Structure 1
Amino acid sequence: MIRLASRNDIPAIMEVVQASVKVMNSQGNFQWDHTYPLEENFQGDLNRQELFVYEEEGRVLGVAAISEKEHSEYHEIAWTSDRSAITMKRLAVHPNGRGKGIADAFFRKAEEVSIEKGLHYMKTDTFSKNTYAQKLFDRHGYHFVEKRFVPEKEDSLVYFEKQL
């Protein structure tokens, strides 16, 4: 079940993130590390009531920010629309929860939030080495917009959007 996160969820969220970072790094994807995402990132999402968790049998197995707040570089991206959008950020599923459709559930929830807010436009991004996320975006009907090199990560960010 997906629900709004509470302050009490932060330790479990960080456990999900740390377990996810280990898996990502073992696959050669260094998008996340000890510098991002941090507890303060999730705390900001929580304060804006934009942080959601997937809970099963009392255990948090996934987390995502479903937000109107865009990343700082989004104004530089060649989106096909300049309308306000919902952005999916910081999606993580604990390795013990993978294969259960949790990430798909977060994407459906993000679309629900977008429609409830009357926005009907979705944006997201990931690093080029995160092929799992890119397949997820494709499966949910997102379209590639742009690719930008990030020197400090020695990788490129890829940006996607979807009109609802």
Structure 2
Amino acid sequence: MKFQQATLQDLPQLAKIMSEAIHLLQIQGSPQWQDGYGPTTEKLTADIKNKATYVLRTDTNEIAGTIALITGIDPAYTEISEGDWLKTDSEYLSFHRVAINPKYRGQNIATQLMEHAILVARDKGFHDIRIDTHELNLAMQKVIAQTGFSYRGVVHFPIPNGKRLAYQRII
């Protein structure tokens, strides 16, 4: 497997993976990414142009998974309830838009993807990494815990069903 930044040539495959992830969440009964509030082609394009999107490629160059590493203050993370962020003297990096190609689900790809992203974060000089997920996204909660993040509280995105469980890892 090879972890690298996505390019605009990856956009069709990324859009398909996101569409399938949105559908999976719907089948699981999760409102996360539903009703047009999930990753759009426009958002994916912007992330690629901003060099935020990374992909985990197979030996045959197929995208097995994707993640966005977002720098800067995430407005949804400024208010946290039922807990708090661990204080650090450095900026944080947020992980968003994690999705796995359905062909590779159940093969530990999400964990590998997150571990690679953590290494990139460290290499970029970030010591504080944050991520969130919906309370019904049990698979993502498991991956988050397996990759060393600790639960910190609840954040709210300004969308319907915007409540998210927030996690942090200090490296």
Q: Distance in 2 between matches of 1:79 and 1:154?
A: 22
Match of 2:15 in 1: 14
Match of 2:87 in 1: 81
CA-based RMSD of the aligned residues comes to 1.9
Give the direction of change, closer, same or farther, for the CA distance of 1:105–1:70 in structure 2 (3 Å limit). farther
- Per-residue CA shift, 1:61-81, capped at 9, x if unaligned? 211102213432112233112
Task: Report deviation, 1:123.
Answer: 0.4
What is the identity percentage for the equivalent residue pairs of Structure 1 and Structure 2? 22
**What code does the residue aligned with 1:80 have?**
L
Q: Is the Cα–Cα contact under 8 Å of residues 31 and 161 in structure 2 kept in the other structure?
A: no
**What code does the residue aligned with 1:53 have?**
V
Q: Distance in 2 between matches of 1:148 and 1:118?
A: 25
Q: Is the Cα–Cα contact under 8 Å of residues 86 and 110 in structure 1 kept in the other structure?
A: no
Task: Report deviation, 1:161.
Answer: 0.2
Identify which of 91, 98, 104 aligns with 1:97.
104
**What code does the residue aligned with 1:115 have?**
R
Task: Report deviation, 1:163.
Answer: 0.8
Q: Is the Cα–Cα contact under 8 Å of residues 154 and 164 in structure 2 kept in the other structure?
A: yes
Gaps in structure 2 of 5+ consecutive residues: none
1:113 aligns with 2:115: no
Give the number of equivalent residue pairs: 164
User: SS of the counterpart of 1:19?
Assistant: helix
User: SS of the counterpart of 1:105?
Assistant: helix
Q: Is the Cα–Cα contact under 8 Å of residues 76 and 156 in structure 2 kept in the other structure?
A: no
1:30 aligns with 2:31: yes
Q: Distance in 1 between matches of 2:121 and 2:134?
A: 24
User: SS of the counterpart of 2:148?
Assistant: coil
Give the direction of change, closer, same or farther, for the CA distance of 1:9–1:163 in structure 2 (3 Å limit). same
Q: Which has the higher helix share?
A: 1
Gaps in structure 1 of 5+ consecutive residues: none
Give the direction of change, closer, same or farther, for the CA distance of 1:152–1:65 in structure 2 (3 Å limit). closer
Match of 1:69 in 2: 72
Match of 1:51 in 2: 53
1:121-140 correspondence runs (5 A): 121-140=128-147
